[in-house]
Amino acid sequence: MDRQTEFVLRSMEERGIRFVRLWFTDVLGSLKSVAIAPAEVEGAIAEGVGFDGSAIEGFARVYESDMVAHPDPSTYQVLPWRQSGRSTARMFCDIHLPDGSPSYADPRFVLKRAMQKASDMGFTYYIHPEIEFFLLRSLLPPEPSTRAATSTTPRSETAPTSGATPSRCWNRWASRSSSATTRPRPGSTRSTCVTPTPSPWPTT
């Protein structure tokens, strides 16, 4: 038994872990999970946990459905949102076939092969998770802070023109740092006023 496995077993006992979730993804990136009891973890690390691969998108056909999930003890972590009374931990898994060979449908194995190929070509392969989040004005009900999508350019709006003169509008446009869609031409009698888009962020 290696030191990492010993750490996992000791941590489960000290933290009172009730269940361990073995995580892996299908070929589309959807998270899948197999839950086991702490008493099964040592055997799962050594021998893996069998499951029906035909039930996972892109893994196997019905007549070759047997697959084995091998948890990686270096990915062990207690789930922070399951701390009250029924603590749960998780480990990511490598997916193998019954003969012990890695599954070519396993996204972790695909990544390992890509990293090895890059290394053979003299490159260093860096990867990182992409963190996505939402900014909400309120939680109940959930209200987004802005309706704009990713990389959306701020909009410019045209204000009502009644009572405005080209010179007043031009001075207002020139005195503020904003994007404009219309600029008055010299000698023009058209009264167009451009106002900046209000920022969704608080100014105080």
Mean pLDDT, all residues of the chain: 77
pLDDT-wise least confident of 4-13, 30-39, 144-153: 144-153
Mean pLDDT value across residues 160-178: 48
Q: How far apart, in Å, are the Cα atoms of 137 and each of 88, 119, 152, 196, 199?
A: 31, 46, 19, 22, 14
What letter would DSSP give residue 102? Answer: B
**Predicted confidence band of residue 123 (pLDDT cuts 50, 70, 90):** very high
- pLDDT for res 158: 46
pLDDT at 21 over 90: yes
Whether the model clears a pTM of 0.85, i.e. scores above it, the answer is no
Task: Give the Cα separation of 26 and 3 in Å (integer).
Answer: 30
Burial 64-96 (b: 16+ CB within 10 A, else e): eeebbbbbebeebebeeebeeeebebbbbbbbb
CA 67 to chain centre: 26
Task: Give the Cα separation of 21 and 78 in Å (integer).
Answer: 10
Considering the chain, what percentage of its residues have pLDDT values greater than 70?
Answer: 67
Residue type, 30: S
Cβ atoms of 106 and 24 closer than 8 Å = yes
**Predicted confidence band of residue 8 (pLDDT cuts 50, 70, 90):** very high
- pLDDT for res 192: 45
pLDDT at 7 over 80: yes
- pLDDT for res 148: 64
**Predicted confidence band of residue 59 (pLDDT cuts 50, 70, 90):** confident
- pLDDT for res 191: 43
167 vs 43 pLDDT, higher one: 43
